[in-house]
């Protein structure tokens, strides 16, 4: 149980009144508040730092915690001060806000801790001053993205059995690791994309000569084969596109998305080619369309995360790229004009017009230097050299920005992958914590009940057995105990449950009483009838007698239980004692305690024998390998 | 084999590409505006802050002392800094006490019982008022509160379905690993027993008076109601 909600325990216990009319058994007694009425205020002094300020300073902002009457709830009468159990470092910033009117965000502070503190003191984060606002917003956005990432991948991992067919298909498309069918589909489409691209490329390779004519490209020589390959690929792509369209949760949004446009562009040329006849006029356009077949290579971006990152980077660096292009264009125009007028005078110059000089400028600025156009005049050469030097500068400036963007996005993706890998460990830790708390209850049930029994018989050794649990823990366990009583069922741990299931399925009902046990509907009857339930329980212990051989640490009762005749007598004698103890229990119900199985080590058995046995064979979480049967004895 | 039309087609394509990219460039430079949706940073003022009434008023309205109210408020404020509990937080808090099973259904009914004004959130005053009844109220008040809890649709009567829901919710809190194993019809049998006891005129519904009368006749219930007297 989290320490934070310990303060809500009174509420949970009060809410337990809702169970009372439904319950058929009397409730167990509440743990007595052994300690004297302690002051709740535990002066831990974690926040022992004392701050001092005028009252009017605080009242400057009456809509916050410190400025309103809400702080009276935190007033400590004894020391005449207001005690807040919060972080003193962040409180410094908060108090400065009252003093100076400006709220600052300390860079070393965790963003969510800071947000929590602000929420506690009732201050809106929008008041953060300009000096710190950017930093605050950036960190907050990062955090939100990270949380969203986690949530998304969590949602993807959840098994939602009630998904419709459409939704399962969509999930299979988006995330190929969800099922083997999706994986197969993923690889098949990847293979066909590769085949299609390679076909396009090989089509144009010259493929040997047909005797009597010049060299033909392969596409013309084996046109039928290539046509069949192309048809097959387009079939697959069409089917895939239609399936995606069918499964998409929002068809309109899907059609508008980039990937679907690429899909359409990849398969359209084929259909247009089918439809169109060999008309001379339109065949030009038809060939142009064939160029679009190369777009099929973009379909690989679904298969490769690196491609997606690259595309995303370019998209996010759009402004830097735009600046680069703009400055390049400016420089090109300037230098082309200059070169044209410089070379105008020379004879047979290639610089026939300014647009013609564009080619020279671009080639020079990017330091390519093909050499098909060279200046011949001296002025031309001077300006040409200035052009190439400036080209280097202009291109080199925006590139680092793009690179850093790419690096940031790439690292973000890496972090997401790492988090997904660590998620398993995190979930395991959470699961352990949860079982820890439920095991704590089962464990303390046994220990606690021994305590009670000891106290009742007046032995002075109070906390001899087991650990001392804090008051809160004992109250929490009492609450769980009440729930058990309300429903007439008990909490056990997983292994015991499985064993019980196995036993009940495995047993052949050797004893006559056990059928009555398993079909006994007496779970809804009152506690007093538990006596009869008890007697029917006992023969049950015969069944795992074979398992007793492996159990060496059980109490004497269990060991006795391996012999049948003595079993019944000894048990019945115990029973009688228990009955005697139980009878006044039902009537007066002064103290109602259900004692559940406790594995007593042999050293304690003398103690166990001297009074109505609180010890019964039962589960021991410390030795989980031991299989044992649970015999419940309700007694004082 | 390149005919005129083919090279012209590619030429057209090239020109189209250049024109489009220059338009995009101008858009990025902010000279023209091509986008149709604007992305704005929305100022998120989602924090609903509620401050409770003063300590003196609450002390007068409930049966708690000032010190007890202080303790309650601190715990309340710790989990809900905004001053109100919504149903999700409520369920989360309650679930922490019952790690074995699923406490969300019962917490839902509890929340509805606490939220007397049906606003969807429980303020500190509602919280403390209900606690005052449960912990310090008279037997009559406690029973009335419990009746209100069981009456899910707040129509003044408890019928078998409502009781079935409540009992099922309680059994859900037990979880899967119980001894003896929970059977399918255990809740139903429990409800039958309950109705046998409570429904005096056997008309299938339990009114407030029947409920009060039957509970006051049952010693167990009377005793258990006094159990949480010294919780605070």
> Which residue is closest to A285 within chain B, CA to CA?
B9
Tokens of A393: 């500068």
Contact call for A124 and B47, based on CB within 8 A: yes
| High-pLDDT (> 90) share of chain A, % | 12
The DSSP 8-state label assigned to residue A613 in this structure reads -
What residues in B contact A438, CB-CB < 8 Å? 99-100
User: What pLDDT was estimated at residue A336?
Assistant: 94
- Are residue B224 and residue B162 in the same domain, yes or no? yes
Does residue A572 register a pLDDT over 50? no
How far is B113 from B147, CA to CA, in rounded Å? 10
The answer to whether residue A60 is domain-embedded is: yes
The answer to whether residue A238 is domain-embedded is: yes
Going by C-alpha positions, the residue among B210, B167, B169 that lies closest to residue B190 is: B167
How does pLDDT run across A100-117, given as a tens digit for each residue? 888 899 888 899 999 998
What residues in B contact A85, CB-CB < 8 Å? 74
- Are residue A149 and residue A250 in the same domain, yes or no? no
Q: Please, is A301 exposed, middle or buried when counting C-beta atoms within 10 Å of its C-beta (0-12, 13-18, 19+)? A: middle
User: What pLDDT was estimated at residue A550?
Assistant: 38
Q: How many Cβ contacts (< 8 angstroms) between chains A and B?
A: 240
- Are residue B131 and residue B142 in the same domain, yes or no? no
Going by C-alpha positions, the residue among A123, A86, A130, A84 that lies closest to residue A104 is: A130
- Are residue B150 and residue B211 in the same domain, yes or no? yes
Pairing relationship of beta strands B121-123 and B84-86 according to DSSP bridges = antiparallel
User: What pLDDT was estimated at residue A333?
Assistant: 95
Interface check for A44 against chain B (CB to CB < 8 A): the answer is: no
Determine the 3-state secondary structure of A402 from DSSP: helix
User: What pLDDT was estimated at residue A10?
Assistant: 77
Does residue B79 register a pLDDT over 80? no
Contact call for B170 and A487, based on CB within 8 A: yes
Q: What are φ and ψ of residue B206, in 5° steps?
A: -115, 120
Secondary structure (DSSP) of A487-509:
HT-EE--HHHHHHHHHHHHH---
The answer to whether residue B216 is domain-embedded is: yes
Best interface-test mutation with B: which of A17, A90, A133, A592 has the largest number of B CBs within 10 A? A17
Task: Give the structural domain span for B221.
Answer: 138-231
Greater confidence (A337 vs A174) lies with: A337
- Are residue A298 and residue A377 in the same domain, yes or no? no
Task: Give me the residue label for tokens 């989360």.
Answer: B92
Tell me the mean pLDDT in the region A276-303: 74
Tokens of B162: 């409502």
The answer to whether residue B115 is domain-embedded is: yes
Residue A75: CB atoms within 10 A of its CB come to 14
**CA distance to partner chain A, nearest, from residue B95 (Å):** 10
Determine the 3-state secondary structure of B164 from DSSP: helix
User: What pLDDT was estimated at residue B3?
Assistant: 55
Contact call for B177 and A493, based on CB within 8 A: yes
| High-pLDDT (> 70) share of chain B, % | 88
Q: In this structure, are residues A320 and B23 in contact, taking their beta carbons and an 8 Å threshold?
A: no
Q: The domain that contains B220 carries what CATH number?
A: 1.10.238.10
How does pLDDT run across B1-48, given as a tens digit for each residue? 455 666 677 777 778 888 887 888 777 777 766 665 544 444 444 556
User: What pLDDT was estimated at residue A155?
Assistant: 67
Give the end of a domain, one of A253, A275, A303.
Answer: A303
Contacts (Cβ under 8 Å, ≥6 apart) of A588? none
Q: In A84-163, at which residue ranges do the beta strands (DSSP E only) sit?
A: none
The answer to whether residue A4 is domain-embedded is: no
Q: The domain that contains A282 carries what CATH number?
A: 1.20.120.350
The answer to whether residue A168 is domain-embedded is: no
User: What pLDDT was estimated at residue A621?
Assistant: 38
Tell me the mean pLDDT in the region A445-458: 58
pTM over 0.90: no
The answer to whether residue A512 is domain-embedded is: no
Burial letters B87-97, b for 16+ CB under 10 A, else e: bebbbbbbbbb
Does residue A196 register a pLDDT over 80? yes
- Are residue B155 and residue B179 in the same domain, yes or no? yes
Residue A466: CB atoms within 10 A of its CB come to 15
Greater confidence (A417 vs B156) lies with: B156
Point out the least confidently predicted range of A400-414, A557-571, B161-175: A557-571
User: What pLDDT was estimated at residue A293?
Assistant: 81
User: What pLDDT was estimated at residue B34?
Assistant: 66
Q: In this structure, are residues B58 and A73 in contact, taking their beta carbons and an 8 Å threshold?
A: no
Interface check for A501 against chain B (CB to CB < 8 A): the answer is: yes
Helices (H) and strands (E) in chain A, counts: 24, 5
Q: The domain that contains A46 carries what CATH number?
A: 3.30.710.10
Over its C-alpha atoms, chain B yields an Rg (Å, rounded) of 31
How does pLDDT run across B116-125, given as a tens digit for each residue? 888 888 888 8
User: What pLDDT was estimated at residue A451?
Assistant: 56
Q: In this structure, are residues A524 and B190 in contact, taking their beta carbons and an 8 Å threshold?
A: yes
- Are residue B72 and residue B117 in the same domain, yes or no? yes
Does residue A187 register a pLDDT over 80? yes
Contact call for A22 and B170, based on CB within 8 A: yes
Tell me the mean pLDDT in the region A600-613: 38
Greater confidence (A27 vs A547) lies with: A27
The answer to whether residue A127 is domain-embedded is: yes
How far is A591 from A572, CA to CA, in rounded Å? 23
Give the end of a domain, one of B69, B102, B136.
Answer: B136
The answer to whether residue A636 is domain-embedded is: no
Report the sign of the C-alpha dihedral through residues A59, A93, A6, A144, in that order. positive
Give the end of a domain, one of B120, B136, B152.
Answer: B136
Which residues share a beta bridge with A100?
Answer: none
Q: In this structure, are residues A103 and A127 in contact, taking their beta carbons and an 8 Å threshold?
A: yes
How does pLDDT run across A497-515, given as a tens digit for each residue? 788 778 877 765 444 444 4
Q: What are φ and ψ of residue B85, in 5° steps?
A: -100, 130
Selection from A39-48, A57-66, A541-550, A552-561 with the highest mean pLDDT: A57-66
Contact call for B142 and A486, based on CB within 8 A: no
- What confidence category does residue A381 fall into, taking pLDDT thresholds of 50, 70 and 90? very high
- Are residue B119 and residue B191 in the same domain, yes or no? no
Q: In this structure, are residues A369 and A391 in contact, taking their beta carbons and an 8 Å threshold?
A: no
Give the end of a domain, one of A404, A430, A456.
Answer: A430
When CB atoms are compared, the residue of A283, A490, A524 closest to B178 is A490
Does residue B49 register a pLDDT over 90? no
Going by C-alpha positions, the residue among B202, B170, B204, B205 that lies closest to residue B187 is: B170
- What confidence category does residue A369 fall into, taking pLDDT thresholds of 50, 70 and 90? very high
Going by C-alpha positions, the residue among A22, A145, A595, A110 that lies closest to residue A411 is: A145
- Are residue A268 and residue A247 in the same domain, yes or no? yes
Does residue A240 register a pLDDT over 60? yes
Residues 113-132 of A with CB under 8 A from B: 116, 119-120, 122, 124, 126
- Are residue B85 and residue B66 in the same domain, yes or no? yes
Does residue A42 register a pLDDT over 70? no
Does residue A269 register a pLDDT over 80? yes
Contact call for B227 and A27, based on CB within 8 A: yes
User: What pLDDT was estimated at residue B81?
Assistant: 81
The CA distances from residue A28 to A595, A636, B131, B225, in Å, are 11, 12, 21, 12
- What confidence category does residue A583 fall into, taking pLDDT thresholds of 50, 70 and 90? very low
Q: Which helix (H) or strand (E) holds B178?
A: strand B178-179
Does residue A434 register a pLDDT over 80? no
How does pLDDT run across A305-360, given as a tens digit for each residue? 888 888 888 888 888 888 888 888 999 999 999 999 989 888 888 899 999 999 99
- Are residue A391 and residue A316 in the same domain, yes or no? yes
As a whole number, the mean pLDDT across chain A is 72
Determine the 3-state secondary structure of A459 from DSSP: coil
- Are residue A299 and residue A317 in the same domain, yes or no? no
Best interface-test mutation with B: which of A22, A37, A39, A478 has the largest number of B CBs within 10 A? A22
User: What pLDDT was estimated at residue A536?
Assistant: 39
- Are residue A194 and residue A218 in the same domain, yes or no? yes
Give the end of a domain, one of B94, B120, B136.
Answer: B136
- Are residue B95 and residue B120 in the same domain, yes or no? yes
How far is A63 from A73, CA to CA, in rounded Å? 16
Going by C-alpha positions, the residue among A364, A367, A390 that lies closest to residue A375 is: A364
- Are residue B142 and residue B103 in the same domain, yes or no? no
Q: How many domains does chain A fold into?
A: 3
Point out the least confidently predicted range of A208-212, A339-343, B75-79: A208-212
User: What pLDDT was estimated at residue A239?
Assistant: 92
Q: How many domains does chain B fold into?
A: 2
What residues in A contact B149, CB-CB < 8 Å? 18
Greater confidence (A512 vs A130) lies with: A130
User: What pLDDT was estimated at residue A282?
Assistant: 65
How far is B133 from B194, CA to CA, in rounded Å? 24
Burial letters A520-537, b for 16+ CB under 10 A, else e: bebbbbebeebbebbbbb
User: What pLDDT was estimated at residue A161?
Assistant: 58
User: What pLDDT was estimated at residue A464?
Assistant: 41
The answer to whether residue A32 is domain-embedded is: no
| High-pLDDT (> 90) share of chain B, % | 2
- Are residue B145 and residue B215 in the same domain, yes or no? yes
Give the end of a domain, one of A383, A410, A430.
Answer: A430
User: What pLDDT was estimated at residue A564?
Assistant: 40
- Are residue B163 and residue B197 in the same domain, yes or no? yes
Angle at which helix B186-198 crosses helix B208-217, to 10 degrees, equals: 90
What residues in B contact A322, CB-CB < 8 Å? 24-25, 28-29
Q: The domain that contains A418 carries what CATH number?
A: 1.10.287.70
Tell me the mean pLDDT in the region B53-77: 85
Task: Give the structural domain span for A243.
Answer: 175-303
The answer to whether residue B32 is domain-embedded is: no
Tokens of B60: 């007068």
User: What pLDDT was estimated at residue A209?
Assistant: 66
Residues 81-120 of A with CB under 8 A from B: 85, 116, 119-120
Burial letters A12-48, b for 16+ CB under 10 A, else e: bbbbbbbbbbbbbbbbbbbbeeeeeeeeebeeeeeee
User: What pLDDT was estimated at residue A210?
Assistant: 65
């Amino acid at each position: 149980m989290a320490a934070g909600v310990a303060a809500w325990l009174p509420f949970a216990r009060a809410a337990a009144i809702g169970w009372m009319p439904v319950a058929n058994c009397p409730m167990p007694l509440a743990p007595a508040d052994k300690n004297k009425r302690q002051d709740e205020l535990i002066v831990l002094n974690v926040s022992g730092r004392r701050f001092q300020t005028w009252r009017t300073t605080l009242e400057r902002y009456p809509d916050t915690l410190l400025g309103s009457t809400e702080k009276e709830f935190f007033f400590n009468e004894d020391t005449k001060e207001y005690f807040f159990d919060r972080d003193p470092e962040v409180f410094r910033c908060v108090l400065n806000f009252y003093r100076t009117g400006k709220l600052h965000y300390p860079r070393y502070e965790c963003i969510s801790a800071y947000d929590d503190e602000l929420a506690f003191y009732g201050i809106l984060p929008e008041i953060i001053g300009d000096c710190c606002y950017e930093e605050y917003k950036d960190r907050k956005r990062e955090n939100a993205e990270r949380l969203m990432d986690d949530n998304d991948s969590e949602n993807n991992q959840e098994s939602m059995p009630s998904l419709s067919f459409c939704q399962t298909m969509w999930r299979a498309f988006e995330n190929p690791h969800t099922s083997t069918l999706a994986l197969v589909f993923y690889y098949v489409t990847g293979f066909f994309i590769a085949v299609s691209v390679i076909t396009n490329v090989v089509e144009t390779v010259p493929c040997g000569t047909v005797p009597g004519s010049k060299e033909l490209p392969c596409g013309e020589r084996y046109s039928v084969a290539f046509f069949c390959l192309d048809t097959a690929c387009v079939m697959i792509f069409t089917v895939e596109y239609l399936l995606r369209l069918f499964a998409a949760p929002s068809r309109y949004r899907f059609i508008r998305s980039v990937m679907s446009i690429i899909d359409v562009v990849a398969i359209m040329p084929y259909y247009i080619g089918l439809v169109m006849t060999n008309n001379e006029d339109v065949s030009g356009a038809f060939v142009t369309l064939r160029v679009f077949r190369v777009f099929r290579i973009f379909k690989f971006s679904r298969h490769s995360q690196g491609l997606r990152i690259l595309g995303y980077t370019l998209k996010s660096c759009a402004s830097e790229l735009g600046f680069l292009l703009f400055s390049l264009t400016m420089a090109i125009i300037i230098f082309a004009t200059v070169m044209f007028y410089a070379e105008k005078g020379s004879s047979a110059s290639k610089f026939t017009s300014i647009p013609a000089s564009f080619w020279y400028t671009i080639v020079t600025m990017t330091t390519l230097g093909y050499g098909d156009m060279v200046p011949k005049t001296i002025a031309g050469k001077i300006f040409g050299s200035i052009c190439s030097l400036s080209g280097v500068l202009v291109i080199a400036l925006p590139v680092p920005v793009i690179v850093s963007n790419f690096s940031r996005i790439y690292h973000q993706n890496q972090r997401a992958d790492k988090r997904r890998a660590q998620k398993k460990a995190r979930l395991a830790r959470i699961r352990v914590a949860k079982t820890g708390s439920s095991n704590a209850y089962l464990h303390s049930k046994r220990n606690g009940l021994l305590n009670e029994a000891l106290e009742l018989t007046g032995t002075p050794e109070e906390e001899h057995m087991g650990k001392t649990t804090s008051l809160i823990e004992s109250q929490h366990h009492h609450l769980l105990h009440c729930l058990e009583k309300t429903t007439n069922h008990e909490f056990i741990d997983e292994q015991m449950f499985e064993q019980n299931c196995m036993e009940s399925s495995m047993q052949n009902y050797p004893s006559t009483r056990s059928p009555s046990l398993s079909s006994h509907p007496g779970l809804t009857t009152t506690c007093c009838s538990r006596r009869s339930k008890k007697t029917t329980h006992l023969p049950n212990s015969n069944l795992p007698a074979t398992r007793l051989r492996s159990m060496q640490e059980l109490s004497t009762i269990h060991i006795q239980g391996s012999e049948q005749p003595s079993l019944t007598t000894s048990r019945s004698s115990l029973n009688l004692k228990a009955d005697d103890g139980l009878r006044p229990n039902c009537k007066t119900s002064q103290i109602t305690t259900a004692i559940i199985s406790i594995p007593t080590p042999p050293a304690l058995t003398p103690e166990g024998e001297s009074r109505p046995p609180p010890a019964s064979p039962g589960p021991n979480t410390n030795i989980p390998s031991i299989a044992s049967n649970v015999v419940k004895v309700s007694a004082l | 084999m390149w005919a005129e039309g083919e090279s012209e087609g590619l030429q057209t394509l090239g020109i189209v590409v250049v024109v489009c990219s220059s338009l995009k460039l101008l858009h990025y430079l902010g000279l023209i505006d091509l986008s149709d949706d604007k992305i704005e940073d929305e100022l998120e003022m989602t924090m609903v802050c509620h401050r409770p009434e003063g300590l003196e008023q609450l002390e007068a309205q409930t049966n708690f002392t000032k010190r007890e109210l202080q303790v309650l408020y601190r715990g309340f404020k710790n989990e809900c800094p905004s001053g109100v509990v919504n149903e999700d937080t409520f369920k989360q808090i309650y679930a922490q006490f019952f790690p074995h099973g699923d406490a969300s259904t019962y917490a839902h009914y509890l929340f509805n019982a606490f939220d007397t004004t049906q606003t969807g959130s429980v303020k500190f005053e509602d919280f403390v008022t209900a606690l005052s009844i449960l912990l310090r109220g008279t037997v009559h008040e406690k029973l009335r509160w419990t009746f209100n809890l069981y009456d899910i649709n707040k129509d003044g009567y408890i019928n078998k379905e409502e009781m079935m829901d409540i009992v099922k919710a309680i059994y859900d809190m037990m979880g899967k690993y119980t001894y003896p194993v929970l059977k399918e019809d255990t809740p139903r049998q429990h409800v039958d027993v309950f109705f046998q006891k409570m429904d005096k005129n056997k008309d299938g519904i339990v009114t407030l008076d029947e409920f009060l009368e039957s509970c006051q006749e049952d010693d167990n219930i009377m005793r258990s109601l006094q159990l949480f007297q010294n919780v605070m």
